[in-house]
Amino acid sequence: MNGFVQRNPIWTVIIAVLVAAFVWAVVAPWPPGMEAVVGRKQIFLNALFNGITLGALYFLVASGFTLIFGLMKNVNLAHGSLYLLGGYIGYEFAEATGSWLGAFVVSFVIVALLGIVLQYVVFRRMEGEDLRQTLVTIGISIVLADLMLWRWGSHSYQILSPDFLSGPTTLPLIAGVRGDGEIVYLRFPAVRIAILVASIVLGALMWLALNRTRIGMLIRAGVDDRDMLAASGVRIQYVFVLVFAFGAGLAGMAGIVGGTFQSVAAGEDMRFLLASLVVVIVGGMGSIFGAALGALLIGLAEQLGSVYAPTYSVVLTFLIMALVLAFRPQGLLGR
Amino acid sequence: MAAVDPTSVEGGRRAARTGQASDVPAWLQGLPVSWWVVGVILLFMPVVANDFILFQIFGWGFILGMIALSLMFLGGYGGMVSLAQMSIAALAGYMIAILGSSGVQTISLNWPWWLAIPVAIFIAAAFATMIGALAVRTEGIYTIMITLAIAAAFFYFTRQNYTIFNGYTGFANVVPPDLFGINWRQSVPFYYLSLACAVIAYCVVVYVSRSPFGLALQGVRDNPRRMAALGFNVFAHRVFAYTFAGAIAAVAGILMAWQNAQISPGTAGLPAVIDILVIAVVGGMKRPIGPFIGALIYVVLRTFAPDILLTLGLSGDRFKLLIGLGFLAIVYWSPDGVLGLWEHWRARRAKAGDPLTRGGDAQ
């Protein structure tokens, strides 16, 4: 950090000014002149928070993807299907029992079991054959997508959030000032804030598990050199199965989050597979922090883009990816 | 010394033989019989087949086959599996609608065909070059992911952009020009048009794969570091492979727009993008004929699967499941596609028929 300040004084000043301007834009009420040019602060804040919470959702999906890739070097293009399946299962369970939190457990377990089957049947048999694994997972995603379309049709399902999280909550952020001088605070759906907090906690737990526990140590060693790890007597196949199950289960849970945020519908699998791809390309393959940073960037770009440049919001996402590829092909935090 | 040198007589005879046959070029004589059979069948297909089979099965099959051929060129000779080939084809289709004539008079420029077609191909090839320049910075799986992301970006962009691509609806009434007084959208002319394009594309790919560029590209596929050490520009070879494959996909894209008489974002939607990969893999990525076989299988399945499923008592909507399961079975058991299966079977039969190796095999 200090080294960076000393080496790049100009960049440090520019970054500091940008951060200060951003903090000011979030905290302070906007003067009328600025509102006339950029639009109302309420809209900006809403887009900002939508972007951050969408980033949290992307992080949930992409962290499993990047973990699996980092350890086993296999690209699971059926990851989006696991997400969608988790969403449907969560919907069915929540409809049947009315328990939103219980749906997370059920979804996690079922999709994790499917992940274990995939690992045993598919990936273990073609270790090191990248292209074949990719093609097989594409095939699996086609089959799963059609099976789900068969079972659940092309309607979109909304998973209702529980009572204690329904409705908006008031955040201590000034959204605007009324004509009579009264300050209006930002109101935002409580369930989204809860999801945001939950995914930050989950990210922190994953970091702790990776860096402070024995199994985390094994996983990190496997990422660095799995042959050496296997040679030193660790049953690496068990580690693989564990990581795959966890990554798949995470995708399943993310399906419920996505179903509560937006909806569960056919076609969402591709959308979220794509989002995870872009997120891990931007953030760097195999890095949890990279996935978090990439997810935040892409979520913000999508939401702010859809408010301020509706036609080109998708292109904005793509532009970020192209820039990262052009200047840092291994991803922002990749090695 | 008076004895006649036998080799010179033999040589003279050979010279006489080639002299006699000089009206038929040597490369034509080398073609195997099966090629002649397939060629004659394809040429006289309109005599027996009805309009639907000519236009929907073969026309569509040739077009998809050409797009998959461009993927096969990249994947088989260059070792780069690009999922953006369908997007390149769709861009060429869009360009022919925008530069030429279409139902959307406010956007179409109504250029004459001899200008619109080359410019459309050129723009699509330039787009392919840009994709290539981005994608070759990565390898293997990363290439697949990045080109998939580019294809998705193209789809969403065309769907949201109304000033150039006319958004969700796209362009209707994109028809080929009335050249030589023939309506090229009628089944027989369109059949021959797409057949000619497919044959030319096939021959060009075969030719290029044996040219110095194609050989260098295969060298780059097998060992980029050694090729770089030998003084070949690895980056330029790979990017030019994208340009070349893009031009083939562009021709197919123009035909596709003409066949459907329309072009819209759905043409290059993600299912269509994945379908091209399915076709190339099912046919086999090792040889240029593979994609056409894959395309024919795909088109036949796609057209008749609902009927087959209905007779089996299942819903006709499940054809995707059928295609997905078939694809899964092929990539699971035979990574080289149908061609790989065929070669495997032929090798086994040849072995079984040979008493010498059969004895060795039994051990």
Helix (H, G, I), strand (E, B) or coil at A175: strand
pLDDT band at residue A178 under the 50/70/90 scheme: low
Is there a contact between B131 and B82 (Cβ–Cβ < 8 Å)? Answer: yes
Is there a contact between B184 and B193 (Cβ–Cβ < 8 Å)? Answer: yes
Chain-chain contact of B145 with A321 (C-beta, under 8 angstroms): no
Q: What is the pLDDT of residue B129?
A: 92
pLDDT band at residue A70 under the 50/70/90 scheme: confident
pLDDT over 80 (residue A203): yes
pLDDT greater at residue A123 or residue B3: A123
In the DSSP assignment, the letter for residue A178 is: -
pLDDT band at residue B88 under the 50/70/90 scheme: very high
pLDDT digits (tens, 9 = 90+) for A206-236: 888 888 888 888 888 887 787 888 888 888 8
Chain-chain contact of A139 with B277 (C-beta, under 8 angstroms): no
Residue B37 located in a structural domain: no
Chain-chain contact of B140 with A131 (C-beta, under 8 angstroms): yes
Residue B252 located in a structural domain: yes
Query: Which among B150, B157, B327 is the nearest to A142, CB-wise?
Result: B327
Q: What is the pLDDT of residue A82?
A: 92
pLDDT over 70 (residue B262): yes
ipTM score for this prediction: 0.72
Is there a contact between A69 and A75 (Cβ–Cβ < 8 Å)? Answer: yes
pLDDT greater at residue B315 or residue B249: B249
Chain-chain contact of B145 with A143 (C-beta, under 8 angstroms): no
Residue B272 located in a structural domain: yes
- Nearest-Cα distance to chain B for A137, in Å, is 8
Chain A residues lying within 8 Å of B156, measured CB to CB:
314-315
CA B45 to CA B55: how far, in whole Å? Answer: 12
Mean predicted confidence (pLDDT) in B6-12: 44
Residue B38 located in a structural domain: no
Q: What is the pLDDT of residue B356?
A: 61
* pLDDT > 70 in chain B, percent: 86
Mean predicted confidence (pLDDT) in A117-130: 80
For residue A185, the surrounding DSSP H or E stretch is strand A183-189
CA A192 to CA A257: how far, in whole Å? Answer: 9
Query: Which among B142, B148, B324 is the nearest to A142, CB-wise?
Result: B324
pLDDT digits (tens, 9 = 90+) for A237-254: 888 888 889 999 999 999
| Domain at B103, CATH number | 1.10.3470
Could you tell me if A142 lies within 8 Å of chain B, comparing CB atoms?
yes
Mutate which of A325, A327, A328 to disrupt the B interface (most B C-beta within 10 Å)? A325
pLDDT band at residue B269 under the 50/70/90 scheme: confident
Could you tell me if A151 lies within 8 Å of chain B, comparing CB atoms?
no
Q: What is the pLDDT of residue B23?
A: 61
pLDDT digits (tens, 9 = 90+) for B281-318: 888 888 888 888 888 888 888 888 777 777 776 666 67
Mean predicted confidence (pLDDT) in B266-278: 84
Name residues whose C-beta falls within 8 Å of residue A180's C-beta, 6 or more positions apart in sequence: none
Q: What is the pLDDT of residue B27?
A: 64
In single-letter form, the type of residue at position B46 comes to P
Chain-chain contact of B152 with A274 (C-beta, under 8 angstroms): yes
CA B60 to CA A282: how far, in whole Å? Answer: 37
Residue B22 located in a structural domain: no
- Nearest-Cα distance to chain B for A21, in Å, is 31
Number of domains in chain B: 1
Tell me how far CA of residue B329 lies from CA of A88, B282, B324, in angstroms. 27, 10, 9
Mean predicted confidence (pLDDT) in A16-40: 77
Q: What is the pLDDT of residue A2?
A: 60
pLDDT over 50 (residue B14): no
Q: Which chain B residue has the Cα nearest residue A146?
A: B321
Size of interface A-B (CB pairs under 8 A): 102
- Nearest-Cα distance to chain B for A310, in Å, is 8
Mean predicted confidence (pLDDT) in B350-361: 59
Q: What is the pLDDT of residue B126?
A: 92
Chain B residues lying within 8 Å of A278, measured CB to CB:
149
Alpha carbon of residue B150 to chain centroid: 20
Q: What is the pLDDT of residue B344?
A: 79
- Nearest-Cα distance to chain B for A303, in Å, is 15
Could you tell me if A274 lies within 8 Å of chain B, comparing CB atoms?
yes
Could you tell me if A179 lies within 8 Å of chain B, comparing CB atoms?
no
pLDDT band at residue A126 under the 50/70/90 scheme: confident
Chain A residues lying within 8 Å of B153, measured CB to CB:
314-315, 317-318
Q: Where exactly are the structural domains of chain A?
A: 39-327
Residue B16 located in a structural domain: no
pLDDT over 70 (residue B18): no
Q: Which chain A residue has the Cα nearest residue B145?
A: A277
CA B118 to CA A271: how far, in whole Å? Answer: 35
- Nearest-Cα distance to chain A for B153, in Å, is 6
Q: Which chain A residue has the Cα nearest residue B280?
A: A135
Chain-chain contact of A146 with B324 (C-beta, under 8 angstroms): yes
Could you tell me if A174 lies within 8 Å of chain B, comparing CB atoms?
no
pLDDT band at residue A109 under the 50/70/90 scheme: very high
Mutate which of B130, B145, B165, B334 to disrupt the A interface (most A C-beta within 10 Å)? B145
Considering only residues 53 to 82 of chain A, which have any Cβ-Cβ distance to chain B shorter than 8 Å?
75
Is there a contact between B217 and B230 (Cβ–Cβ < 8 Å)? Answer: no
Could you tell me if A323 lies within 8 Å of chain B, comparing CB atoms?
no
Q: What is the pLDDT of residue B3?
A: 47
CA A203 to CA A60: how far, in whole Å? Answer: 8
Residue B192 located in a structural domain: yes
pLDDT band at residue A282 under the 50/70/90 scheme: confident
Name residues whose C-beta falls within 8 Å of residue B349's C-beta, 6 or more positions apart in sequence: none
Q: What is the pLDDT of residue A85?
A: 92
pLDDT digits (tens, 9 = 90+) for B149-178: 888 888 888 887 777 788 777 787 777 777
Domain membership of residue B344 as a residue range:
48-356
pLDDT over 50 (residue A8): yes
pLDDT band at residue B354 under the 50/70/90 scheme: low
pLDDT over 90 (residue A32): no
Burial class of residue A83 in the structure, from the number of CB atoms within 10 Å of its CB (0-12 exposed, 13-18 middle, 19+ buried): buried
Query: Which among A135, A310, A321 is the nearest to B149, CB-wise?
Result: A321
Chain-chain contact of B328 with A145 (C-beta, under 8 angstroms): no
Could you tell me if A5 lies within 8 Å of chain B, comparing CB atoms?
no
Chain-chain contact of A329 with B318 (C-beta, under 8 angstroms): no
CA A264 to CA A91: how far, in whole Å? Answer: 8
Chain-chain contact of A311 with B160 (C-beta, under 8 angstroms): yes
Chain A residues lying within 8 Å of B301, measured CB to CB:
none
Domain A39-327 has CATH 1.10.3470: yes
